[in-house]
Amino acid sequence: MSEIKKKIAVFVSGSGSNLQAIIDSIESGKLNCEIAFVIADRPCYALERAEKHNIRSVMLDRKLFGEKLSDEIDMILSDAGEISCIVLAGYLSIISENFVKKWNRKIINMHPSLLPKFGGKGMYGLKVHEAVLKAGEKESGCTVHYVDTGIDTGEPIMSMKVPVLEGDTPEILQKRVLEKEHQLLVKGLEKISKEEALKNVKV
């Protein structure tokens, strides 16, 4: 009997390159899961990637839903069947505390720094890389971590390092880190899947 594929949901706000890394790993057989839903909080290219691969997707504009955004997402995911993992892949909206508690240890986030350094409120996108360079750091990287009710404070799952090189701009460093993000997100999902499989093994 073939193993039942885990269902995941991917939340996006931008180009969706991390989403594409997951899609490619699923199609190559590296990841044994399926993307049940892609959810965006604004119009973005990631939705086009989902459509191209026939993945169900929805755009819930955070400007329209406001504080009800997380409730709306929760209803959609609850109707989608058993979701084993929610991946925040460049998702910029803050999800509610109630949502996080309901989906405890089922939500993971990719952050473009070596947490706990350069995490927290206001630390996203190029702002992270600007802060790294301003601080004179010799290395940076990315971290995939569980989401808790704080901002970038959840338990780390894995991280990957990159050097900070002389002459780096925030844009150059961002590109170097992003290449590692694509690898790390897949490795993080693999690790979670293996840990879940071990928990389900009956002694």
Cβ neighbours of residue 160 closer than 8 Å, sequence gap 6 or more? 141, 142, 180, 183, 184
Q: Are 130 and 170 in contact (CB under 8 A)?
A: yes
* pLDDT tens-digit series, residues 36-57: 999 999 999 999 999 999 999 9
Shortest CA distance to 188 belongs to which of 22, 3, 12?
22
pLDDT at 1: 37
Shortest CA distance to 185 belongs to which of 151, 140, 143?
143
Q: What is the pTM of this model?
A: 0.91
Shortest CA distance to 11 belongs to which of 66, 85, 71?
85
Cβ neighbours of residue 122 closer than 8 Å, sequence gap 6 or more? none
Per-residue pLDDT of the chain (203 residues; tens, 9 = 90+): 345 678 999 999 999 999 999 999 999 999 999 999 999 999 999 999 999 999 999 999 989 998 899 999 999 998 877 899 999 998 989 899 999 999 999 999 999 999 999 999 999 999 999 999 999 999 999 999 999 999 999 999 999 999 999 999 999 999 999 999 999 999 999 999 888 766 665 44
Active-site amino acid positions: 111
CA distance 120 to 124: 8
* pLDDT tens-digit series, residues 76-93: 998 877 899 999 998 989
